Amino acid sequence: MKLFRYFIIAIGLALIVFNLTKLDFNNLLQGESQVALIGIAAAACAIVLMLILIASHKVKNKHKNFKD
């Protein structure tokens, strides 16, 4: 499961880089650039969620070790 979290983060970073290549900076909110912006936002959300999950597991493990 731990490896899966880092795999999702790596895929998210790859998607952000891919979508950055699709952006047309002259027309950001039209056509393919709009789809790329949505993809970048979705990948960033997935990365943030995975980082929150990792942090929550670290807190849970520290709390569990503190109880024992």
Residue 68's pLDDT is 60
* 30-66 per-position pLDDT tens digit: 989 999 999 999 999 999 999 999 999 999 999 888 7
C-beta separation of 48 from 16 below 8 A: no
Write down the pLDDT at residue 58. 93
Q: Where exactly are the structural domains of the chain?
A: 2-67
Contact 12, 41 (CB under 8 A): no
Look at residue 2 and tell me whether its pLDDT is greater than 90.
no
Q: Rounded to an integer, what distance in angstroms lies between the CA atom of residue 48 and that of residue 20? A: 18
